[in-house]
Structure 1
Amino acid sequence: MHGTGPPLVTPFDAEGALDEAALRDLVGWVEARGVDFLVPCGSNSEAELMTAAERARTVEVVADEATVPVLAGTGSPGLTETLEATDAAADAGADAALVVTPFYYGHSMATHEEYYTSVADAAEVPVYLYSVPAYTNVKLDPDTIATLAEHPNIGGMKDSSGDVQTFQRTQRRVADLDFDLMVGSGGVLSQALAAGGSGGVLALANVAPEATTAIYEAHDAGDHERARELTAACVELNYAVTGGYSVPGLKYAMRERGAPAGHVRSPHRPVDADAKARLDDLLAEFAALRDDL
């Protein structure tokens, strides 16, 4: 996977059910704005609030509608659930599987290495590692990643640590391998690309796909200064829809842009009036930026 793609939000209706029609429309909405691939059932998809059957159906709908590659989130705390979800995603038409580090219980790096090797050995599609310490309290270390990168069925990684130094250390270890190292934090997209990253899986690409595409294209064209400027211009919006107001804020901002993001699922709650006002201000700033893209 190269370029930028969203961990696609999952539209739910007012009763909390999966809204398949809105999901199909959303695929078209983000694709029309330049994304290079789609990631259903990621963290911003509220996948942890969905049943296994709902996840499988979500991947199926996205894969059926998409004209770009699909990297489906399939990770769970246990190996059995992950293998079942990865098989289901492959059957549904996904091109690759994004597997989060096992969470809840603490595990050594050696255990994570064994776990990912087992998943990759069994999977019918390439496996991508997913390190998101904010949710799992686990950060894969560069040496473990480098060892796993040598597996013929491990295609890359999404690094959502936000730690550019560790990203650079990892990139140095995998630079000579066929391994896509992607950043998961939109606030450091240009820095990660400059460090040798192949792209990003970004919440920001749900609400401002034009900007993430423009950053990648500027970097790819050698205009690193413009890539840095655009990343800096999006930092506050990126923070608001991730660490600031999380999925409820992201979905609100998307709806304000006309994207069929749907409702959040409990225990998430809609954002309050103050959050809406702040997001409205940031969207106004982005509208001005968008005219310059």
Structure 2
Amino acid sequence: MIKGSLVALVTPMDADGAIQWDALDRLVDWHIAEGTDGIVAVGTTGESATLDLDEHIAVIKRVVDRACGRIPVIAGTGANSTAEAIELTEKSAAIGADAALIVTPYYNKPPQEGLFRHYKAIAEAVDLPIIAYNVPGRTGVDMLPATVARLAQVPNIVGVKEAKGEMARVRELLALGLGPTFALYSGDDATARESILLGFHGDISVTANVAPEAMHQMCAAALAGDSARAAELDAPLQALHRDLFVEPNPLPVKWALARMGRIGEGLRLPLVPLATSCESTVTAALAEAGIQI
């Protein structure tokens, strides 16, 4: 089981939308040096929706190759087509990913039975550990705890990332008693500390893109049960947890990384650059966390 701070890595791009391979290499090296516990490559923060299949797999392979076993790499392989998700997961397994993070199908809004069968079909088709990902605010579908409990009984399904952002949901998942081998990850930085202190195993984090060492230390303190130290470390990050979502993710975090000199300015339509009116908000959040741009 991978524990701690797992970065939901951005995909660096030039102004024309071309992938910045050198910048991607540097991000991987930086996260390893800063103590990040795992990298999610081409998850939703990595703009998976705008990369074609070949690009998608190429970015995952580049991260796997650059990490070279120094840090676990989790491939984002979600799709609203079960067949496409299986293909992405198969290809990710073949290039050496350690696990797959699979977001719930978006737009088509399957019922709970459809969600169960979607993940079960992928798990049965591919021999790779699978982490389900629930983010109803982006997908339009909410995977309920009862469905997570069913999925936990399926071989290869080893965890869930829960990003509803509600502590009531965190407590519901913990109350299922899924056991020590089924991983529970926060997908909401603002509630990650409290979730880990209650029994979650880590945080798949947007904030870690800009504050990797601080997020690693905070998660480590929470995993150790040191609530006072975790709170102390988390306090300067609270504005980032909030304001990196002042516009839809990943607009603010990519703007911040560009100002930090770590990536270029690129996004792909329909995403557009961070609104000028939001720049001071993100700048202030970075400053509160001790990050100068």
Q: TM-score, normalised by structure 1?
A: 0.93
Any stretches of 5+ residues in structure 2 without a counterpart? none
User: Which residue does 2:37 correspond to in 1?
Assistant: 36
User: Which residue does 1:9 correspond to in 2?
Assistant: 10
User: Which residue does 2:134 correspond to in 1?
Assistant: 131
TM alignment of 1:65-84, pairs within 5 A: 65-66=66-67, 67-84=70-87
Tell me the number of residue pairs that the alignment of Structure 1 and Structure 2 aligns. 289
Contact 2:201 2:223 in 1 (8 A): no
**Secondary structure of the residue that 1:229 maps to in structure 2?**
helix
**Does residue 118 of structure 1 match 2:118?**
no
User: Which residue does 1:20 correspond to in 2?
Assistant: 21
After TM superposition, give the deviation of residue 278 of structure 1 in Å: 1.9
After TM superposition, give the deviation of residue 136 of structure 1 in Å: 0.7
Percent of pairs identical after alignment? 33
TM alignment of 1:34-183, pairs within 5 A: 34-66=35-67, 67-183=70-186
Stretches (4+) displaced over 3 A: none
CA distance in 2, matches of 1:15, 1:71: 27
Larger CA deviation: 242-251 vs 12-21: 242-251
Root-mean-square deviation (Å): 1.7
Q: TM-score, normalised by structure 2?
A: 0.93
CA distance in 2, matches of 1:253, 1:284: 11
TM alignment of 1:277-288, pairs within 5 A: 277-287=280-290
**Secondary structure of the residue that 2:36 maps to in structure 1?**
coil
Contact 2:237 2:288 in 1 (8 A): no
Letter in 2 for 1:204: T
Of 255, 260, 275, the residue aligned with 1:257 is: 260
After TM superposition, give the deviation of residue 245 of structure 1 in Å: 5.3
Larger CA deviation: 227-236 vs 146-155: 227-236
CA distance in 2, matches of 1:258, 1:28: 15
Letter in 1 for 2:285: L
**Secondary structure of the residue that 2:244 maps to in structure 1?**
helix
More helix by share: 1
Contact 1:12 1:264 in 2 (8 A): yes
Identify if the C-alpha distance between structure 1 residues 288 and 93 changes in structure 2 by more than 3 Å, giving closer, same or farther.
Answer: closer
After TM superposition, give the deviation of residue 263 of structure 1 in Å: 1.7
Contact 2:23 2:262 in 1 (8 A): no
**Secondary structure of the residue that 1:99 maps to in structure 2?**
strand
CA distance in 1, matches of 2:255, 2:108: 33
Q: Deviations over 1:182-213 (max 9, x none)?
A: 00111111111022100010101111112211
Contact 1:160 1:184 in 2 (8 A): yes
Identify if the C-alpha distance between structure 1 residues 220 and 63 changes in structure 2 by more than 3 Å, giving closer, same or farther.
Answer: same
After TM superposition, give the deviation of residue 246 of structure 1 in Å: 2.6
Any stretches of 5+ residues in structure 1 without a counterpart? none
